[in-house]
């Protein structure tokens, strides 16, 4: 199965706040991707959208979080 996660899902992976709605579902999806149960496709502009939000929410960690997401 191939999915296209939106920015809010990707941000849940990076920020991991337990209080975020749907955090459990985002974590389940992330685990399924890591164990190769599903594949993802990302839109071309995802890194700019995610980078912008990370810079607003976590300015001191934004570069490192984005680097990890790009790995």
Q: What is the pLDDT of residue 19?
A: 65
pLDDT at 12 over 90: no
Total-model pTM: 0.72
Q: Cα dist. 58→4, 8, 11, 52 in Å?
A: 24, 15, 11, 10
Q: What is the pLDDT of residue 13?
A: 83
Q: What is the pLDDT of residue 4?
A: 93
Q: What is the pLDDT of residue 41?
A: 94
Q: What is the pLDDT of residue 33?
A: 92
């Amino acid at each position: 199965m191939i999915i296209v996660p939106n920015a809010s899902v990707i941000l849940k992976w990076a920020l991991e706040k337990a209080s975020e709605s749907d955090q459990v579902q985002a974590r389940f999806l992330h685990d399924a991707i890591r164990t190769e149960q599903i594949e993802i496709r990302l839109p071309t502009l995802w890194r700019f959208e995610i980078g912008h939000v990370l810079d607003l929410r976590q300015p001191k960690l934004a570069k490192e979080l984005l680097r990890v997401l790009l790995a």
